[in-house]
Amino acid sequence: MLQLRFILISLGAAIGLFLFLLLCVEIGRHLGLRRMKRVGGPPSSGGIVDNAVYGLLALLIGFTFSGAAARFDHRREMVGDEANAASTAWQRIELLPVAQQDPVRDGLRQYLDAVLEWYQTPDKIDVALHQPASVTRAQENVWRRSVEACLTSQGDVARMLLLPALNELFDAVDRERMARRLHPPAIVWLMLAITALASALFVGYEFSGSPRNWLYIIGFTVSVAVSTYVIVELEYPRLGLATSASAIDRPLVEVRASLE
């Protein structure tokens, strides 16, 4: 299952980053001890260089976290828009002749079921980014039924209100799908990783003149690794532990449950 694979990969990457940061701290400490033996005194502080690298790391984490949180909130708003559009379309079905309402209602239920199945059970990353055939068929089915009902002699009012509501629902689903493609470029992730490792190297070098302070070391490495993991979770909703489909798609699930 794609979600399980993603969770294992993201957790593995966070743990791997944590271990690499510890390794860099130890390498920095070893370099500092070598310099102490060579010059006979504590290693010189980089001062401006250290602060520049630490500041860059803070900037990159803040930048990527802020962007990921904004995109996550925007996607949740889009799901809310889908739920509102579905509810509006359902209400406007009442404008159809009574004999024409049930087929359209069944079609709309089938469409929402297909969308929710797509959201909650992706098995491949390309399925998460491209609309599957089941959703396309359900969309065409409810649209065909609606058009046929609206073309009857009593469907004039529904034609002006129901069809635009369905179009809005289809567009909302497609906008949310396209939003899943928006992520920072790979070079930003690479720069974040390099800066984090460089910062860990400087931390070890700075503390080489004193006994290991595990509180500072673990605090620094865990903070960076956890921050990176949270950023990845926010960037890929529905796949992570904290941003699973049950959390982000709740408004649409509740609307579908009410359409009975």
User: How far is the C-alpha of 147 from the C-alpha of 158, rounded, in Å?
Assistant: 10
User: How far is the C-alpha of 223 from the C-alpha of 61, rounded, in Å?
Assistant: 11
Q: What are the start-end ranges of the H helices in the chain?
A: 2-39, 48-92, 98-120, 125-129, 133-150, 156-179, 186-206, 214-235, 245-248, 250-258
Write down the architecture of domain 2-258 according to CATH.
Up-down Bundle (1.20)
User: How far is the C-alpha of 100 from the C-alpha of 92, rounded, in Å?
Assistant: 12
Residue-wise pLDDT tens digits, 182-193 = 888 989 999 999
Average pLDDT over residues 139-160: 85
Residue-wise pLDDT tens digits, 11-42 = 888 999 999 999 999 999 888 888 777 776 55
**For residue 71, how many other CB atoms are within 10 A of its CB?**
18
Looking up tokens 């959390």 gives: 247
Cβ(259)–Cβ(108) under 8 Å? yes
Average pLDDT, the chain: 86
pLDDT at 103 exceeding the cut of 60: yes
Tell me, yes or no, if the pTM score tops 0.85.
no
Cβ(25)–Cβ(224) under 8 Å? no
Residue-wise pLDDT tens digits, 195-232 = 999 999 988 888 877 778 888 889 999 999 999 999 98
Domain range summary for the chain, segments of one domain joined by +: 2-258
